[in-house]
Structure 1
Amino acid sequence: MAAPRFQALPGFRDFPPRECAVRNYLFETWRSVARTYGFVEYDTPVLEDTALYLKKSGGELSSQLFRFEDQGGRDVCLRPEVTASLARLAAASQREFPKPLKWFEIGQCFRYEKPQKGRGREFYQFNVDILGEAGPRADAELIALSIDTMRAFGFRTGDFVVRVSDRQAWLDFAGRHAIDEERIPDFLQIIDKLEREKPEVTAEKLASFGLETAQITSFIADPKSASLAFETIREDLEARGLAGFVELDLSIVRGLAYYTGVVFEVFDSGKSMRAVAGGGRYDTLVSTIADGNVDLPATGFAMGDYVIRNFIEETTDALMQMEVWLQRQQAGCDVYLVLADDSKRNDALGIMTELREAGISCDMPFGSLKINKQFQRAEQTGARFALVIGSELPELKLKVLASRTEENCHVLGLADWLTDRLQQPDGPLLA
């Protein structure tokens, strides 16, 4: 059979019902944890002025933009990440809110890069940020939130680790080794790719800075290389009972140029996939976006839907938890109306409307079907009950589809009775 003419573009996804349900599971978990921590939700447009993302993002990002000229002649792009958009929004409206701002966002981003496991050209991100607080306890709060997000997905101690680093330590290193300021981003890119590039490639790149690989590995291995901020974070997380999820790892620097201090990434313990989440402090970005008119220290992190879903599907406890949630959500309705007598269709429509107004999800066939086909359809929708409407009206029968048992009920007070019945286990009620 020939392939369909029209398909989703490479790196883009459709979301049929199950895929949409998985996405909803991720979103609901993210929202629940963020709100538990006292964060409030915001959003920004997916289309932005390209200059916003060229101003301070750096790294490979500028070459990955979905960029074009709109009909008004503006140079625009689909947002590749959200932090710069947040900085723009915060710079414009921060006076309206008490500090610190504790904001989160769940939204779609776009990057033109090679689709592969854990990476597509469109993706959803959970973005969590604290703006207006310069101290390391804000970083600790975000690291704790990232840990509790992982735990909310069903991951346990030993499944993942948060690798915390200190970008300022690397900036100090660069200063001690007389690396020109304009070359520091290139130097940090080398550190960021230490685990991904061949040692000989790394050695050649470091040589251009007058450095040897041994100097880098020695610096990474020495805990004293980190600033005092890390010790404050460690003590904070220890008081929360979360220090066991964290380790100091100075090989983490993050790829974007706007990071200024503590950075971190969440990895599966086996390091079999790219980072599940990552972020850090970006104290100068808001000022840069606002051309120096607003000075707002900030820290934040993001978690993408691709990698966290892959990790869930490869981890037994997390996968079982998701599947249980999906089973509860997959039903198309609670009650399916079965017409044993098609002449009662108008009565059934009235009953269905009454039930829906009471908040009970229900459905019925559009056309005339044999009764066994209607029961088959009821099971296909995932309904718990089939409400049989026939010539006995106003008497009705309620079929419990899981147990194949039957209960009698009446049109009078049906909505209240069914509301109560839906709270009961799937067995016949005792008289």
Structure 2
Amino acid sequence: MAGSTFQALPGFRDFTPRECAVRNYLFETWRGVARRCGYVEYETPILEDTGLYLKKSGGELSSQLFRFEDQGGRDVTLRPEVTASLARIAAAEQRQYPKPLKWFEIGQCFRYEKPQKGRGREFHQFNVDILGEAGAAADAELISLAIETMLSFGFVEGDFVVRVSDRNAWLKFAEGKGVEDEKISDFLGLVDKLEREKPEVLTEKLAAFGMTLDEVKAFVANPENASADFDLIREDLTARGFGAFVELDLSIVRGLAYYTGVVFEVFDSSKSMRAVAGGGRYDTLVKTISDGNVDMPATGFAMGDYVIRNLIEETPHAAMQMEVWLQRNAAGCEAYMVIPNDQHRGDALKLVTELRRAGVSVDLPLANAKVAKQFQAAEKCGARFALVIGEEFPQVKIKVLASRTEESCEAGELVPWLLQRLTEPDGPLIA
């Protein structure tokens, strides 16, 4: 690689200023939706005791851990998901908070799996959970937040669908077929691959459980196999105006062993990529993590930054909304100080300090440069205004870069003038 003998490890990312700006767009949208819906933010450590994940996660997760022994001889893991950490902290702290707990976290996670589209070895997740409420209303509230999140990213009806299922229905099915408890996870793993695995492979593997692929597909196709909770959830979401976004799909089971009831995944309508978000009810996890000391029903979901960004970029109206946000929020500065003659640098520095203290983002040349180059620097950093401090000082010339117009203002009035103008739309932003 030119310029360096080192580069990011496979599945890990550098965040350039542009990449950080996109990440900030995702984070601010996530955070804004959660707060509007009454959730409060928490945070847990990136590094945890490995036993926390081995206790009840199951599935492929245990083979994907970034696991090592630290200098104190402890078996530790970079967290692969947040729910186990949430269960740990909720069990320890739940008495300090009114129920139900409505908490969210935006955190980094790590899984050692093959990097591919929509998946890396490090990623950021938006995790939202309701703990302490067992009713279907909590599941509906959570699914509504997932829908609100998608709408806030600029998606519209027809762009995505929430596919809802019921893990309990599959547990009853497996019990009726005589599947042993210790093999339930393996069986559910096959159900989870109904859309991805070759039929002949599924047929062979299901035969080991004493059932056929046709039997499993028939179970998926019969809506009567869903529990009454689905009807309650659909009724709730329909009342909110979200009924068109939800469909029953019993092929959804989710990969982690701790799910106990209603589960769901958010997909783009064309199903061109893996799930954008997913989650469900995990009523026994807190009790398991706390060794039976705290018993709290819970439901939650997570949305990762990889897939949601891919879907935004592949959906024109959502991509346009993100670009508008980036133009307004990712510029290097709002105003750039142009200093034609270095004898006015002291005046410029005084104004820079006043503007920055007032909350205006301002940059300036750190060395003498031709005026044309200073204007080029102003445009490259995304400034809306170029402030020219020259011979007319204390009159300040103000160039509106987008419209190529010019105004002027007394230096003593520059702060309120700029604060007013910065609240107004200006320039050819994408609309």
Task: Give the TM-score, by structure 2 length.
Answer: 0.97
Partner of 1:101: 101
Q: Tell me, yes or no, if structure 1 residue 258 matches structure 2 residue 244.
A: no
Distance 1:265 1:12 in 2: 25
Partner of 1:293: 293
Deviation at 1:425, TM superposition (A): 5.4
Partner of 1:168: 168
Task: Give the secondary structure class of the aligned counterpart of 1:412.
Answer: helix
Task: Give the secondary structure class of the aligned counterpart of 2:378.
Answer: helix
Deviation at 1:424, TM superposition (A): 4.2
Distance 1:244 1:10 in 2: 40
- The residue type equivalent to 1:247 in the other structure is E
Q: Tell me, yes or no, if structure 1 residue 6 matches structure 2 residue 26.
A: no
Partner of 1:225: 225
Distance 1:223 1:405 in 2: 64
Range with bigger deviation, 53-62 or 369-378: 369-378
- The residue type equivalent to 2:77 in the other structure is C
Partner of 1:44: 44
Partner of 1:55: 55
Q: Tell me, yes or no, if structure 1 residue 306 matches structure 2 residue 314.
A: no
Distance 1:126 1:330 in 2: 21
Distance change (3 Å), C-alpha of 1:425 and 1:267? closer
Partner of 1:130: 130
Q: Tell me, yes or no, if structure 1 residue 353 matches structure 2 residue 353.
A: yes
Q: Tell me, yes or no, if structure 1 residue 332 matches structure 2 residue 309.
A: no
Task: Give the secondary structure class of the aligned counterpart of 1:392.
Answer: coil
Give runs of aligned pairs for residues 87-236 of structure 1, distance below 5 A: 87-236=87-236
Task: Report Cα offsets for 1:312-351 as digits up to 9, x if no partner.
Answer: 1111111111111111112211111111111111221111
Task: Give the secondary structure class of the aligned counterpart of 1:279.
Answer: strand
Task: Report Cα offsets for 1:291-331 as digits up to 9, x if no partner.
Answer: 00000000000000000011111111111111111111122
Partner of 1:401: 401
- The residue type equivalent to 1:125 in the other structure is Q
Task: Report Cα offsets for 1:191-241 as digits up to 9, x if no partner.
Answer: 111111111111111111111111111111111101111111111111111
Deviation at 1:36, TM superposition (A): 1.2
Deviation at 1:416, TM superposition (A): 1.8
What percentage of aligned pairs have identical amino acids?
A: 73
Partner of 2:18: 18
Partner of 1:241: 241
- The residue type equivalent to 2:354 in the other structure is E
Distance change (3 Å), C-alpha of 1:369 and 1:284? same
Task: Give the secondary structure class of the aligned counterpart of 1:19.
Answer: helix
Task: Give the secondary structure class of the aligned counterpart of 1:154.
Answer: coil
Distance 1:236 1:11 in 2: 40
Task: Give the secondary structure class of the aligned counterpart of 1:413.
Answer: helix
Q: Tell me, yes or no, if structure 1 residue 80 matches structure 2 residue 98.
A: no
Deviation at 1:3, TM superposition (A): 7.1
Gaps of 5+ in 1: none
Distance 1:235 1:223 in 2: 15
Distance 1:83 1:426 in 2: 44
Deviation at 1:423, TM superposition (A): 3.2
Task: Give the secondary structure class of the aligned counterpart of 1:13.
Answer: coil
Task: Give the secondary structure class of the aligned counterpart of 1:30.
Answer: helix
Gaps of 5+ in 2: none
- The residue type equivalent to 2:155 in the other structure is F
Task: Report Cα offsets for 1:249-277 as digits up to 9, x if no partner.
Answer: 10100000000000000011111100000
Deviation at 1:22, TM superposition (A): 0.7
Q: Tell me, yes or no, if structure 1 residue 379 matches structure 2 residue 379.
A: yes
Partner of 1:267: 267
Deviation at 1:63, TM superposition (A): 0.4
Distance change (3 Å), C-alpha of 1:170 and 1:3? farther
Distance 1:371 1:303 in 2: 47
Range with bigger deviation, 374-383 or 106-115: 374-383
Distance 2:232 2:395 in 1: 69
Distance change (3 Å), C-alpha of 1:50 and 1:225? same
Distance change (3 Å), C-alpha of 1:424 and 1:234? closer
- The residue type equivalent to 2:227 in the other structure is S
Distance 2:87 2:2 in 1: 48
Distance 1:197 1:174 in 2: 20
Distance 2:85 2:330 in 1: 35
Distance change (3 Å), C-alpha of 1:426 and 1:198? closer
Deviation at 1:40, TM superposition (A): 0.6
Task: Give the secondary structure class of the aligned counterpart of 1:44.
Answer: coil
- The residue type equivalent to 2:80 in the other structure is P
Distance 1:361 1:113 in 2: 41
Distance 1:415 1:314 in 2: 41
Distance change (3 Å), C-alpha of 1:424 and 1:319? closer
Task: Give the secondary structure class of the aligned counterpart of 2:90.
Answer: helix
Distance 2:123 2:240 in 1: 32
Task: Report Cα offsets for 1:143-179 as digits up to 9, x if no partner.
Answer: 1111111111111111111110000001111111111
Distance 2:169 2:357 in 1: 61
Deviation at 1:4, TM superposition (A): 3.2
Task: Give the secondary structure class of the aligned counterpart of 1:11.
Answer: coil
Task: Report Cα offsets for 1:5-41 as digits up to 9, x if no partner.
Answer: 1111100001111111111111111111111110111
Task: Give the secondary structure class of the aligned counterpart of 2:156.
Answer: coil
- The residue type equivalent to 1:141 in the other structure is E
Distance 2:138 2:408 in 1: 59
Range with bigger deviation, 44-53 or 326-335: 326-335
Distance change (3 Å), C-alpha of 1:134 and 1:194? same
Deviation at 1:417, TM superposition (A): 2.3
- The residue type equivalent to 1:314 in the other structure is E
For these two proteins, the number of residue pairs brought into alignment is 427
Task: Give the secondary structure class of the aligned counterpart of 1:94.
Answer: helix
- The residue type equivalent to 1:394 in the other structure is P
Partner of 1:419: 419
- The residue type equivalent to 1:320 in the other structure is M
